[in-house]
Amino acid sequence: METITPTDRPTAATRFPRGPASTRLELRAATAAVHERLHHLPAFAAIAEGRLGVAAYGRLLLALHDFHGSLAGAADAACAVLGADALRAAGARRRELLRADLEAVGASAPGGAEPIALGGARAVGCLYTILGSTLGGKLIHRQLDYLFAGAAGRRFFAGAPDDGARWRDFGIRLDAYGRGLDDLTGLVEGAHVAFRHFAACVERHS
Ligand code: HEM
């Protein structure tokens, strides 16, 4: 598994001109391959097959805790860029759910993760990846029926009832932001930094 640094680029010297489609759809296309690869990470594949045990699930939560902790500052910076205070509050609530799940499975939440500082378009691209992960999280929440009888332990993946509305609001803000950019390179880089950091966090806790 490759390690990443905040300065990683999706591919060397790649530029992403702004096309006529929505910025969000362009980001989706530019990250489709790395997103698809995450589905094959052993922990997610094992959840999909109903065979990840509680201890390994706890390690996955620790990886998520690292991921969201280290990118919390970048996510907040992106919310400021987009003028989206409600998204910032939702992010903080999401991190609280994660800590509650860690406690529920008996894994202790470690101290603060090393922050990854991103600003401007790269922070917004990073927020795209962070927020988009709530969509897949709903699916994972259902897959976890085999491990949990109730809500405890999988509240993070369940997310909040207004996640869909938040995602749509983000998409509108992202498209408006993208229309003001000459190209989408910074956005795509930020989204890739987050995807690759996710894979690195999972690897670290495997
Ligand atoms: C096995 C794990 C995962 C599964 C099964 C999964 C599944 C999905 C699904 C089904 C959607 C589309 C939802 C919709 O269109 O309504 C989605 C969207 C998305 N997911 Fe995942 N996901 C997983 C992990 C992740 C992770 C770990 C991240 C980020 C670190 C992520 C980032 C995203 C993003 C950014 C989108 C939005 C794509 C768009 O612009 O439409 N996913 N995911």
**Nearest-CA residue for atom 15 of ligand 1:** 135
- Tell me what the mean pLDDT of segment 151-171 comes to: 96
The atom of ligand 1 lying closest to the CA of 191 is 35
- The 10s digit of each residue's pLDDT in 12-52 is 346 777 766 799 999 999 999 999 999 999 999 999 999 99
Q: What secondary structure does DSSP assign to 171-199, as a single string?
A: HHHHHHHHHT-SBSHHHHHHHHHHHHHHH
Report CA-CA distances (Å) from 30 to 11, 17, 86, 188: 11, 12, 27, 7
Ligand 1 centroid vs 63 CA: distance in angstroms?
17
**Nearest-CA residue for atom 22 of ligand 1:** 136
| CATH code of the domain in which 118 resides | 1.20.910.10
Q: Which of 135, 143, 192 to mutate to test the pocket of ligand 1 (most atoms within 8 A of CB)?
A: 135
Q: Assess if residue 8 is contained within a domain.
A: no
The atom of ligand 1 lying closest to the CA of 25 is 40
Q: Assess if residue 71 is contained within a domain.
A: yes
154: region left, alpha or beta (phi > 0 left; psi from -120 to 50 alpha)? alpha
Does residue 121 contact residue 190 with C-beta atoms inside 8 Å? Answer: yes
Q: What residues make up the domain containing 94?
A: 23-204
**Nearest-CA residue for atom 6 of ligand 1:** 136
Strand partners, 17: 183
The atom of ligand 1 lying closest to the CA of 47 is 1
1 versus 102: the higher-pLDDT residue is 102
The predicted pLDDT at position 12 comes to 39
Which residues sit with their C-beta closer than 6 Å to ligand 1?
24, 28, 35, 38-39, 44, 128-129, 132-133, 135-136, 139-140, 194-195, 198
178 versus 13: the higher-pLDDT residue is 178
Q: Assess if residue 162 is contained within a domain.
A: yes
pLDDT higher than threshold 90 for residue 4: no
Q: Assess if residue 116 is contained within a domain.
A: yes
Strand partners, 183: 17
**What span, in angstroms and rounded, lies between the C-alpha atoms of 160 and 134?**
9
- The 10s digit of each residue's pLDDT in 62-99 is 999 999 999 999 999 999 999 999 999 999 999 999 99
Residue % of the chain over a pLDDT of 90: 85
Q: What are phi and psi of 160, to 5 degrees?
A: -120, 155
The atom of ligand 1 lying closest to the CA of 128 is 35
Nearest Cα to Cα of residue 33 among 57, 62, 11: 11
**Nearest-CA residue for atom 36 of ligand 1:** 132
Provide the domain count of the chain: 1
pLDDT higher than threshold 70 for residue 3: no
The predicted pLDDT at position 108 comes to 80
Helix-then-strand count for the chain, H and E: 9, 0
Ligand 1 centroid vs 85 CA: distance in angstroms?
23
Q: Assess if residue 7 is contained within a domain.
A: no
The predicted pLDDT at position 147 comes to 98
